[in-house]
A and B are shown apart, each in its own frame.
Chain A
Amino acid sequence: MFELVEVTKKYRNHEALKQLRFVIEPGVTAVVGPNGAGKTTLFNILTGRIFPTCGTVFYNGQPVEKIRGNLGYLFEDPPFYPYLTAENQLGYFNALREYPVEAHEVERELEKWDIPPKGKKIKDFSQGMRKRLGLANAFLGNPQIVILDEPFNGLDLEGQQLLEDTFVTYRSKDRFLIFSSHQLERITLLADRIVILDQGRLVYTGETKELAEQATKVIFYLPGDISMDLLRTPLVLEIGKRGVWVTAAVQKEKGPLFLQHLAEHGIVPQSSRLLISELEYVFEEKQVSRRLPY
């Protein structure tokens, strides 16, 4: 497992990670958080490419730098030489690997991700095709540890399905797949565990299933000028603000009653989202967010 012990990462102007202390067990782990939460910095530290300012990261008891060269990594914007073809590029990366694989495995990986190996230079690739090539590079050689930064961004439906199928193979006791995504519905389906970061701090870590089970509420999005008195009812568990909307959290079973309560006062929820992903609600709840006084 990965173990982070008081990991802090400071850059010149800000602190990207603040005293993180948690473990990552084998299986599929999702790391979520808003932009700037520190997800990419965390990943770079897990790969051993950059070092924390303070604290240590261990992998199975050893400093994480020792696993460098023995894992797959997908950058959010995968880097390539633009003048190479996919076959040349993957072959180049393979040649520079700590543990290169046979040439036929390179061809097989390109075929799996449906990437044109020859003829077309990478500078002419679409964003989705670049992402596929990055994924091919990350999964080349079937590494035990794979870290993917926003892997679903830019992928078409077929690519997403292919990636999801690959995730399944990492749900095992001795393999790690760590990824970040803003698509919380997908996280609920794919991840065994979830780590939530916000402004460099750990907000939550645990099994996705447990987290989802905690969420039994529905959020209503109401006009921003709604009277607070109207919301002071036992039906409403929590009031918040999201953008121009006022949010009201209600027990799922009490949803129809609350709607009736609103209707009696001529209020119609502005948003059509009567039921959102349970994980998204808990995610919002777990983040440091603005809350209105009840």
Chain B
Amino acid sequence: MIGGGFIRIIQAEISRVLRKPFFCVIPLLSLIYVLYLEIGAYNNALAFHKGTIELPTGVPNPFAGVDLSQMLYWFRWENITTAAGATYLAGWVGIILVGYVGAVWFADDLRTGVNKQIAVLQKHLMPVVVGKILTLALYMAGILIFIVLGSVLTTLFLSDVPGREPAALLRWIPLRNLMLYSIIAVMWACLAAMITLLSRSPVIGVAVGVMWPFAETAILFSGNSTIQLLIAKIAPISTIQSILAFVYDRFSWVIDSAPVILWTTSPPLTRTIENGVIQPYLLPISFLMTALVIYTFVAVGGIILGYYVSVRD
């Protein structure tokens, strides 16, 4: 079964997924979450620019005299893909939604026993499982594209947004970042799916997919022991955060020494101790990508193994 068989399986999976209301709600929730932050950041930028924002007594306006178009840098269409996608994945809501989807993706097969029926209908399970994984990847990419398009369209209603150039959406950097975000989302979703299948429990899969980001961040931020600093270099959420920092290309969170209203900020979890001072730092992107790819391959392998085991009594 090559080519036509794969397409047939993916078409069938897409058709199934679209008929489950849950999978139609998730993109909407994702978009609402990102738009909430987008519009909030826009309003903050205006308030800072006009000086109408309420600041604590004695605290000067850090953006006094800064050009509004510079403060709205991340709303430019050449940058909005980067900002929207990172907003979604850097925040708790986004990564949790991704983990939840991954955990639930195979849950119906386990819960209903459809996986066993499929195992009778199809001698070669590999194309079916890979087809389901590819559909999950398409779904994740679809959510990110949906978020980006929604963010772009929203800027049409935000009058001061500069740089609304449609061609800018198709430049290499935004497309590269969109691809990276998709891989991140697929990686995290597949890890949650793997837990569901290997434990044969959607509840455990959801628990891990949803709670792991909290747990990892709490553990890594709770101290600076050698082990914690080492784990921070390779743990999955830490890897994701570091990649997001890379795509922002903005380690100090400023542009040209002028402060910029950022849509979202999430410092990387990797850090080092220099002269007794904790300093966040970024690992090389090649290392981060290798980690991302390894995690994805491990997750995919775990899904395949878990599915094969699940069809046997």
A interface residue numbers (CB < 8 A to B): 11, 41, 44, 47-51, 65-66, 68-71, 73, 75, 77-84, 88, 91-93, 95-98, 100, 137
Establish whether residues B116 and A88, one from each chain, have CB atoms under 8 Å apart when the complex forms: no
Establish whether residues A83 and B11, one from each chain, have CB atoms under 8 Å apart when the complex forms: no
Residues on the B chain within 8 Å of A11, using CB: 313
Of the listed stretches B87-95, B120-128, B139-147, B251-259, chain A binds B120-128
Establish whether residues A96 and B12, one from each chain, have CB atoms under 8 Å apart when the complex forms: yes
Residues on the A chain within 8 Å of B114, using CB: 79-81
Residues on the A chain within 8 Å of B26, using CB: none
Beyond contacts A77-B113, A84-B16, A137-B117: 16 other A-B pairs, Cβ-Cβ < 8 A, are A47-B120, A49-B311, A49-B312, A68-B120, A68-B122, A73-B117, A83-B19, A88-B16, A91-B15, A95-B11, A96-B12, A96-B121, A97-B122, A98-B121, A98-B123, A98-B124
A77 to B111, CA, bound (A): 13
B interface residue numbers (CB < 8 A to A): 1, 8-9, 11-12, 15-16, 19-21, 108, 112-114, 116-124, 128, 311-313
Residues on the B chain within 8 Å of A68, using CB: 119-120, 122-123
Residues on the A chain within 8 Å of B311, using CB: 49
A88 to B14, CA, bound (A): 12
A35 to B229, CA, bound (A): 58
User: B19, B113, B120 — which one has the most chain A CB atoms within 10 A of its CB?
Assistant: B120
Given the known inter-chain contacts A49-B312, A81-B16, please indicate yes or no for A73 contacting B11, CB distance below 8 A. Answer: no
The residue on B at minimum CB distance from A78 is: B117
The residue on A at minimum CB distance from B312 is: A50
Establish whether residues B122 and A98, one from each chain, have CB atoms under 8 Å apart when the complex forms: yes
Establish whether residues B12 and A75, one from each chain, have CB atoms under 8 Å apart when the complex forms: no
Establish whether residues B121 and A84, one from each chain, have CB atoms under 8 Å apart when the complex forms: no
Establish whether residues A93 and B121, one from each chain, have CB atoms under 8 Å apart when the complex forms: yes
A276 to B128, CA, bound (A): 49
User: A48, A66, A77, A95 — which one has the most chain B CB atoms within 10 A of its CB?
Assistant: A95
Residues on the B chain within 8 Å of A88, using CB: 15-16, 19
Given the known inter-chain contacts A49-B311, A91-B12, A92-B16, please indicate yes or no for A79 contacting B113, CB distance below 8 A. Answer: yes
Q: In the complex, which of the residues A66, A71, A91, A100 contacts B120, with contact meaning CB atoms closer than 8 Å?
A: A71
Establish whether residues A93 and B108, one from each chain, have CB atoms under 8 Å apart when the complex forms: no
| 11 pairs, CB–CB < 8 Å, chain A vs chain B | A41-B313, A66-B123, A68-B119, A70-B123, A79-B117, A80-B112, A81-B20, A81-B108, A82-B112, A88-B15, A91-B15
A48 to B123, CA, bound (A): 9
Q: In the complex, which of the residues A47, A83, A137 contacts B21, with contact meaning CB atoms closer than 8 Å?
A: A83
Q: How far is the CB of B111 from chain A (nearest CB, A)?
A: 9
Q: In the complex, which of the residues A71, A73, A92, A100 contacts B15, with contact meaning CB atoms closer than 8 Å?
A: A92
Given the known inter-chain contacts A88-B19, A96-B128, please indicate yes or no for A81 contacting B112, CB distance below 8 A. Answer: yes
Establish whether residues A73 and B122, one from each chain, have CB atoms under 8 Å apart when the complex forms: no
The residue on B at minimum CB distance from A92 is: B12
A225 to B8, CA, bound (A): 67
Residues on the B chain within 8 Å of A71, using CB: 120
User: A48, A88, A92 — which one has the most chain B CB atoms within 10 A of its CB?
Assistant: A92
A48 to B59, CA, bound (A): 74
Residues on the B chain within 8 Å of A78, using CB: 117
Q: How far is the CB of B116 from chain A (nearest CB, A)?
A: 7
Establish whether residues A84 and B313, one from each chain, have CB atoms under 8 Å apart when the complex forms: no
Given the known inter-chain contacts A75-B113, A83-B19, A91-B12, please indicate yes or no for A96 contacting B120, CB distance below 8 A. Answer: no
A68 to B20, CA, bound (A): 29
Establish whether residues B12 and A95, one from each chain, have CB atoms under 8 Å apart when the complex forms: yes
Q: How far is the CB of B213 from chain A (nearest CB, A)?
A: 29
A71 to B12, CA, bound (A): 21
Establish whether residues B8 and A75, one from each chain, have CB atoms under 8 Å apart when the complex forms: no
Residues on the B chain within 8 Å of A48, using CB: 123
Residues on the A chain within 8 Å of B112, using CB: 79-82
Residues on the A chain within 8 Å of B123, using CB: 48, 65-66, 68-70, 98
Residues on the A chain within 8 Å of B15, using CB: 88, 91-92
Given the known inter-chain contacts A80-B114, A81-B112, please indicate yes or no for A50 contacting B11, CB distance below 8 A. Answer: no
Q: How far is the CB of B71 from chain A (nearest CB, A)?
A: 46
Q: How far is the CB of B42 from chain A (nearest CB, A)?
A: 38
Residues on the B chain within 8 Å of A93, using CB: 117-118, 121
A104 to B120, CA, bound (A): 22
Residues on the B chain within 8 Å of A66, using CB: 123
A80 to B109, CA, bound (A): 9
Q: How far is the CB of B101 from chain A (nearest CB, A)?
A: 16
A73 to B15, CA, bound (A): 24
Establish whether residues B116 and A96, one from each chain, have CB atoms under 8 Å apart when the complex forms: no
Given the known inter-chain contacts A81-B114, A100-B8, please indicate yes or no for A49 contacting B120, CB distance below 8 A. Answer: yes
Establish whether residues A95 and B8, one from each chain, have CB atoms under 8 Å apart when the complex forms: yes
Residues on the A chain within 8 Å of B21, using CB: 83
A81 to B105, CA, bound (A): 12
A44 to B313, CA, bound (A): 9
Q: How far is the CB of A294 from chain B (nearest CB, A)?
A: 42
Residues on the A chain within 8 Å of B11, using CB: 95
A17 to B121, CA, bound (A): 24
The residue on B at minimum CB distance from A95 is: B12
Residues on the A chain within 8 Å of B12, using CB: 91-92, 95-96
Q: How far is the CB of B185 from chain A (nearest CB, A)?
A: 24
